[in-house]
Amino acid sequence: MADWQDQAAGLRRLVARPTPRSICFNGGRGQTGSTSIVANLALALALAGQRVLILDEHDSQANIAKRLAMPHIMDWGQALAKRLPMAALWNETTAGVGIMQMSAAQRHLALLSAEEEDRLAFEFNQLTSAIDIILIDALAIVGDRIPSLNLVAAENVVVVCNRAESLTDGYAMMKRLNKDYGQRAFRVLVNRVDSFAEASAVFERLQEVAQRFIDVQMKLIGYVPEDEKLARANRLCQPVVTAFADAEASMAFTQLADIIQRWPQPSDDRFAPAGLLHRLIQSSRAFAEHS
């Protein structure tokens, strides 16, 4: 009992510290490139002196670890099955960016006991106590898939490109999060365009449709240009910001990293990162109860 009280006291101290901001990136069809954006933005933030952790919801060949040619990374579903600590999920890139594979079936999270939930949340808070920014590469919200990491982050960035299916998915994503889960504020990042003018036109098309049918606030935060050097870096399993620092895409990621560091902190205490794991597990239980 004393050990757990000591842990609880430690958790209260962790919660009292400045906590990292959590930003979820959501992409859809149309080769929007949200995974590439998260990987490169994380490196750009790290180069700017930020301590970054990536939570990757993908478990396919397209996840960030595969993109960076990292050794096999255990995912959370595997760790839960073996009752391993959260530290077993922690991996780092050569630039010091942390990566945790957070793919796990919601039905498994829903079955966790209150004691297991508290243990995992405590361990996660310890691991992230020195982190400045958590970037989440979330699965696209398509069909009947239930959002998970989309709902626990303080901020959502919708990634779109100049393709009809991408804009359709971007709108559908915002509509789902707005109508079913009450989210109203979305930042939009336009990828794979040739100019700011094209990015602005893509954003205006998305905004025009969204404002006709849903009550949301949208803000364009920038764009990443179509860049052959970015494609080449992807083929080399390297981030473009380190492989080709002079590329247009690298400069775009550097600028975006600078912009993110100047965003005001979210005012909604419900999304304090210290409770991120609690929110994820509890929302899984709620979904399981109503399914």
Residues whose CB falls within 8 Å of the CB of residue 97, separated by 6 or more in sequence, listed in order: 42, 43, 46, 52, 53, 54
Token pair listed for 62: 């397209």
**pLDDT string in tens for the chain (291-residue length):** 445 455 555 544 444 455 789 999 999 887 899 999 999 999 999 999 999 999 999 887 778 988 888 887 888 888 998 999 999 999 998 788 999 999 877 888 889 999 999 999 999 999 999 999 999 999 888 777 777 888 889 899 999 999 999 999 999 999 999 998 899 999 999 999 999 999 999 999 999 999 999 999 999 999 999 999 999 999 999 999 999 999 999 999 999 999 999 999 887 656 666 688 998 998 888 887 766
| Burial group, residue 88, by CB count within 10 angstroms (0-12, 13-18, 19+) | middle
CATH superfamily, domain 19-286, is P-loop containing nucleotide triphosphate hydrolases (3.40.50.300)
* Contacting residues for 184 by C-beta, under 8 A, at least 6 apart: 178, 215, 216, 217
Q: Is 58 helix (H, G, I), strand (E, B) or coil?
A: coil
Partner residues linked to 44 by β-bridges:
none
* Whole-model pTM over 0.95: no
